[in-house]
Chain A
């Protein structure tokens, strides 16, 4: 147990370091984009005076390095910064209303997490189940059919899968709404109904990866001597897989599941735009379009943190699932 805690601490520290590097990369990358907030918000009506006035208000006239450290200082104290666009509009009003990035992101992030949760609770059991079945009936028609279907859904662009689903489930057979605009005050059932189509799209996108890994990991183990032993004892094939092979295949499966869960949080941008789902992906697109750098950075940090944390969780869980790693000599 001691070693696991040590590993967690180590990994968390490394994660923080990674986040720091990510923050520099994001900051530089965003600032390399042509145009800035003042220009993008004023558009065609930008006069040099108005641009300068907005830049001055937002501190965009300061050098890049100073701005970075100001922002980093804020993050250290738990302040994600102030959204440019909100600030710009409130500035003339004497600071009424919330301008914080955190306030802006929080509801969107919870929507995205909800979507990820719904997708994961469909995709993960489905993928593992299909993977086990495919391993059991490997090289049969079932195995091939599952492979072809999941691989073709992962190979098509997300928006294409989304439109196919919309065509079949919303336009031709109006079962589900094509518009997923959820808002506070909706009942859970309604929310679920609206979220189902994007969740199904994401399911199609992530299932193949997890399913193939489950299948491969199990088949890999089926060649080992202890499985042969089990088989020789006369145990049924399904029981061999579920009871003997699956627990030992858990580590790679967990890793892939974690990777895909992270994708569900960070890779939803396209799906959210297609289904008009008010999640963090849409906010991100808006923020990039407006060059609202604090929001872009906060979103990126959240994305990076999601990857790091989920990978960490995956590592820990694979250690826990493997007695040899749990009790190192």
Chain B
């Protein structure tokens, strides 16, 4: 039985009135009830320490419910303030963040500039293993301008800096009590942690008086249960023990769809599966060889057979549908063995023999995908030898080491973030050794775009960069993979669901609600 608050009832009533007038479906979200979700990506080693977060369970618990960041990516991909009310910069180097006033942590401490500085400093330091270290390392100075104003001076200009502040590692902890906050989960989020058993479950209740008011956080209580096993997760949803689950197994998706109590939710984001080649190794240093491979892969077949249709063909650019400057004007690369043969001849070869290393550690179905590639490329005289690598140690021994392998990227919210993670010369995860030798222009544009505040100019820059990668890039990106999740029909989800991360950008506790 869901509880209906008086305010909620009035709201629904108003909405029903609107419904009568316009014929629009009922959309008002009302507060009440409990959300039980079965989520994967949990581990016994989980903690409230955001520096260690890497998978859905903890992201949904921390950034999605108990903690807040300075900024937040809205469901439509735009950036809005969370603990920061506004921000400004003239040169993309000096950023001033104006903080929200009157915000308190769950232990009663009020939120202010000191908390921001101390929370950011957690990520730097010699021994820091934080995945957000590169972001915070670019900050040269952190100055407190007032109780509710912070100035961050960067080492190098970055127009996307406010976007970076929405990273799920960069949560705001109470200054001076960070140890305690990590121990007990004390944040400023909509939900206050009640119990947390790593790798098992997390329970939190709605904070009564929260700065987000009635526009978010519609559940009285949330319970996230760690279910890493695909089948167990599906069973839990089918038997009504949980209201929502993430990561549907594509093979059983049609069974779920047949159940009248379950709704499938699917979004295409920036998650992409890739085959990077090290462009400083022969034969991949020859752009014609890369072009031959680009035409030797059947992208549509991969989407159909590896993703079972739950995805979209990609165009060798890592910038996807969830990005602001996603280039939709580029001509789609097609499977064309004749083209491939042509480029092979341009490279001065009749046939080409290469090894492709793959393991299902890269992505589910990577070995099958490599074999499909092998079959399609053979028509163009390219003989791919698929080397099946062990899943253990794949990221240490194969990725970045073998000249041609399978990999994946979960994608980034902004173009610059994505490019500077994997395509900037010399960065550690540059999995195609992509540098100035390959494209002087690309690296110049990367630096220019980062400091550019004018959005029209940025669009031009990022469109051109995507074009360069499509034409010459060292990473084959055949497909974007969808996020597929399932919810009970009693759970109402907004019309636009976030697509930069699973489960509405992991903010299910904040944005979803129970049908009144």
Chain A, Cβ-Cβ closest to B42: A286
CB <8 Å contact, B201 and A286: no
Does residue A273 face the partner (Cβ distance < 8 Å to B)? yes
Most chain A CB inside 10 Å of its own CB: which residue of B52, B129, B395, B407: B129
Does residue A54 face the partner (Cβ distance < 8 Å to B)? yes
Does residue B131 face the partner (Cβ distance < 8 Å to A)? yes
Does residue A129 face the partner (Cβ distance < 8 Å to B)? no
| Residue from the list A44, A83, A178 in contact with B236, Cβ < 8 A | A178
Complex Cα distance, B183 from A53, in Å, reads 23
Contacts of A97 in B (CB 8 A): 183
Complex Cα distance, B200 from A166, in Å, reads 21
Please, what's the 1-or-0 string for B367-395, where 1 marks a CB less than 8 Å from any CB in chain A? 00000000000000000000000101101
CB <8 Å contact, B127 and A276: no
Does residue B415 face the partner (Cβ distance < 8 Å to A)? no
Contacts of B226 in A (CB 8 A): 276
Please, what's the 1-or-0 string for A168-184, where 1 marks a CB less than 8 Å from any CB in chain B? 00110010011101010
B396 to chain A, nearest CB (A): 5
Complex Cα distance, B397 from A328, in Å, reads 63
| Residue from the list B232, B240, B396 in contact with A39, Cβ < 8 A | B396
Total A-B contacts with CB atoms under 8 angstroms apart: 127
| Residue from the list A33, A44, A178, A286 in contact with B241, Cβ < 8 A | A178
| Residue from the list A34, A93, A170, A292 in contact with B390, Cβ < 8 A | A34
Contacts of A34 in B (CB 8 A): 390, 392-393, 397
Contacts of A41 in B (CB 8 A): 45
Contacts of B393 in A (CB 8 A): 34-35, 39
Contacts of A275 in B (CB 8 A): 232
CB <8 Å contact, A93 and B179: yes
Does residue A21 face the partner (Cβ distance < 8 Å to B)? no
| Residue from the list B128, B131, B227 in contact with A276, Cβ < 8 A | B227
Complex Cα distance, B397 from A292, in Å, reads 20
Complex Cα distance, B52 from A86, in Å, reads 11
Contacts of A51 in B (CB 8 A): 396
CB <8 Å contact, A45 and B429: yes
Complex Cα distance, B224 from A183, in Å, reads 13
CB <8 Å contact, B197 and A93: no
Does residue A50 face the partner (Cβ distance < 8 Å to B)? yes
Please, what's the 1-or-0 string for A247-269, where 1 marks a CB less than 8 Å from any CB in chain B? 00000000000000000000000
B271 to chain A, nearest CB (A): 13
B311 to chain A, nearest CB (A): 20
Contacts of A42 in B (CB 8 A): 129, 395
Q: Given A39-B396, A178-B236 in contact, is the A276-B45 Cβ separation under 8 Å?
A: no
CB <8 Å contact, B131 and A45: yes
Does residue A211 face the partner (Cβ distance < 8 Å to B)? no
Q: In residues 163-214 of chain A, which contact B (Cβ within 8 Å)?
A: 163, 166, 170-171, 174, 177-179, 181, 183
Q: Given A41-B45, A96-B182 in contact, is the A47-B200 Cβ separation under 8 Å?
A: no
CB <8 Å contact, B240 and A174: yes
CB <8 Å contact, A181 and B43: no
Complex Cα distance, B200 from A174, in Å, reads 23
Q: Given A171-B235, A179-B242, A287-B44 in contact, is the A278-B197 Cβ separation under 8 Å?
A: yes
Q: In residues 227-259 of chain B, which contact A (Cβ within 8 Å)?
A: 227-229, 231-232, 235-236, 238-242
Complex Cα distance, B396 from A50, in Å, reads 12
Contacts of B408 in A (CB 8 A): 44
Does residue B57 face the partner (Cβ distance < 8 Å to A)? no
Complex Cα distance, B394 from A42, in Å, reads 12
Complex Cα distance, B319 from A206, in Å, reads 54
Does residue A306 face the partner (Cβ distance < 8 Å to B)? no
Does residue A150 face the partner (Cβ distance < 8 Å to B)? no
Q: Given A163-B231, A174-B239, A276-B229 in contact, is the A92-B127 Cβ separation under 8 Å?
A: yes
Complex Cα distance, B178 from A39, in Å, reads 27
CB <8 Å contact, B241 and A278: no
CB <8 Å contact, B129 and A179: no
CB <8 Å contact, B200 and A183: yes
Interface size on B, residues (CB 8 A): 49
Complex Cα distance, B131 from A263, in Å, reads 42
Complex Cα distance, B294 from A107, in Å, reads 54
Complex Cα distance, B394 from A35, in Å, reads 8
* B-side interface mostly: loop
Complex Cα distance, B200 from A179, in Å, reads 12
Chain B, Cβ-Cβ closest to A37: B45
CB <8 Å contact, B127 and A43: no
Does residue B433 face the partner (Cβ distance < 8 Å to A)? no
Q: In residues 272-319 of chain A, which contact B (Cβ within 8 Å)?
A: 273-276, 278, 282-283, 286-287, 290, 292
CB <8 Å contact, A89 and B45: yes
| Residue from the list B38, B43, B392 in contact with A286, Cβ < 8 A | B43
Does residue B47 face the partner (Cβ distance < 8 Å to A)? yes
CB <8 Å contact, B201 and A171: no
Please, what's the 1-or-0 string for B109-137, where 1 marks a CB less than 8 Å from any CB in chain A? 00000000000001001011101000000
CB <8 Å contact, A53 and B129: yes
Contacts of A46 in B (CB 8 A): 395-396
Complex Cα distance, B458 from A15, in Å, reads 71
Most chain A CB inside 10 Å of its own CB: which residue of B128, B236, B397: B236
Most chain A CB inside 10 Å of its own CB: which residue of B44, B125, B127, B229: B44
Please, what's the 1-or-0 string for B202-231, where 1 marks a CB less than 8 Å from any CB in chain A? 000000000000000000000001111101
Complex Cα distance, B179 from A169, in Å, reads 45
CB <8 Å contact, A276 and B236: yes
Does residue A40 face the partner (Cβ distance < 8 Å to B)? yes
Contacts of A47 in B (CB 8 A): 428
CB <8 Å contact, A177 and B231: no
CB <8 Å contact, A290 and B45: yes
Does residue A78 face the partner (Cβ distance < 8 Å to B)? no
Does residue B328 face the partner (Cβ distance < 8 Å to A)? no
Contacts of A273 in B (CB 8 A): 228-229, 232
Please, what's the 1-or-0 string for B49-85, where 1 marks a CB less than 8 Å from any CB in chain A? 1011010000000000000000000000000000000
Does residue A85 face the partner (Cβ distance < 8 Å to B)? yes
CB <8 Å contact, B238 and A35: no
Complex Cα distance, B390 from A139, in Å, reads 52
Please, what's the 1-or-0 string for B306-341, where 1 marks a CB less than 8 Å from any CB in chain A? 000000000000000000000000000000000000
| Residue from the list B122, B241, B395 in contact with A179, Cβ < 8 A | B241
27 contacts between A and B (CB under 8 A): A34-B397, A39-B396, A40-B392, A45-B54, A57-B127, A86-B47, A88-B52, A89-B49, A89-B52, A92-B125, A92-B129, A93-B178, A93-B179, A96-B179, A166-B239, A174-B240, A179-B235, A181-B200, A181-B201, A183-B201, A273-B229, A273-B232, A274-B231, A276-B226, A276-B229, A278-B197, A286-B199
Known contacts A92-B49, A287-B44; can you find 5 more A-B pairs with CB under 8 A? A44-B399, A44-B429, A85-B45, A88-B45, A97-B183
- Pairs of residues from A and B, 6 with the lowest C-beta to C-beta distance, nearest first: A85-B45, A35-B393, A35-B392, A34-B392, A286-B44, A34-B393
Residues of B at the A interface (CB closer than 8 Å) are 38, 43-45, 47, 49, 51-52, 54, 122, 125, 127-129, 131, 178-179, 182-183, 195, 197, 199-201, 225-229, 231-232, 235-236, 238-242, 390, 392-393, 395-397, 399, 407-408, 428-429
Residues of A at the B interface (CB closer than 8 Å) are 33-35, 39-47, 50-51, 53-54, 57, 83, 85-86, 88-89, 91-94, 96-97, 104, 163, 166, 170-171, 174, 177-179, 181, 183, 273-276, 278, 282-283, 286-287, 290, 292
